[in-house]
Amino acid sequence: MLNINNFFNNIPEILKPWFPDDKPVWFILDNISEAIKKIYDNNRDNYIVIKENVFADKTAIFDECVKIKGPAIIGKNCEIRHGAFLRENVIICDNCVIGNSTEIKNSVLFNNVEVPHYNYIGDSILGNYVHLGAGAKISNVLLIKNKKEKIEELQKISAEGKIHLEHKKVMIKMPNGSWVSTERKKFGAIIGDYAEIGVNTTLNPGTLLEMDIFVPSSVSIGGYFKKSYVFPKNIIYGSDV
């Protein structure tokens, strides 16, 4: 599978069991609730129980109007700011900032991550020192094409009139043009250490960024980007530069 070392220089100690060499990089996304339980059980003296299945290091700071649905675990010196919403199965390691109106669901944040303003993070892993600019979003579900036709077809065979549309499993487009299946209907992004994501940028389902990548503001990207990939200047400055 994909090489974990291309994404992370150092995996936090508490997370190392969940990044085995013989599993996909995103293996932990299917096991976050179990990981939270084991991390807490092995380090009980370090955490305060905020509410059922919500654990926080004693040094973590919480502003007013923070909403957390467990299971969740929050590390040392984290700052959870006003209006943050943690929605089940969230691991936040040390020295992280979760900001105003930022929503996180079924995701893992390594050390020193900053997601401070109006961000959405779903079914994703963010490496050390990753920073999302204001309004940057990580989409985790593929859109449904030909939705009207599919609904009408299901209405013909549904006795109760209840419609459930199936989402496709997320695929990752590799640099050589091949595709890798995540085997997950919900999958956002794997973001390597030190990434900078510009304001109002969207990472579409199945985005993988190796280390040291700078993504400009107000763009929409998807696929696999290798270490130190440089986006074309015309994305930022215009085609005449």
| Residue 158: alpha-carbon gap to chain centroid | 35
Beta bridge partners of 203: 138, 221
Contact 222, 214 (CB under 8 A): no
Q: Is 235 exposed, middle or buried (0-12, 13-18, 19+ CB in 10 A)?
A: middle
Pick the CATH number of 4-142+165-237 from 2.60.40.10, 2.160.10.10, 3.30.110.30, 3.30.830.10: 2.160.10.10
Q: In one letter, which amino acid is 230? A: V
Is 0.85 topped by the overall pTM? Answer: yes
Pick from 80, 83, 116, 120: which is nearest to 103 by CA? 120
Q: What pLDDT score was predicted for residue 241? A: 43
**Domain segments of the chain as ranges:** 4-142+165-237
pLDDT in tens for each of the 241 residues of the chain?
A: 589 999 999 999 999 999 999 999 999 999 999 999 999 999 999 999 999 999 999 999 999 899 999 999 999 999 999 999 999 999 999 999 999 999 999 999 999 999 999 999 999 999 999 999 999 999 999 987 877 777 777 777 766 666 777 889 999 999 999 999 999 999 999 999 999 999 999 999 999 999 999 999 999 999 999 997 888 866 666 555 4
Q: In one letter, which amino acid is 76? A: K
Q: What pLDDT score was predicted for residue 159? A: 62
Contact 186, 124 (CB under 8 A): no
Going by DSSP bridges, is the β-strand pair 54-57/47-51 parallel, antiparallel, or unpaired?
Answer: antiparallel
Contact 28, 18 (CB under 8 A): yes
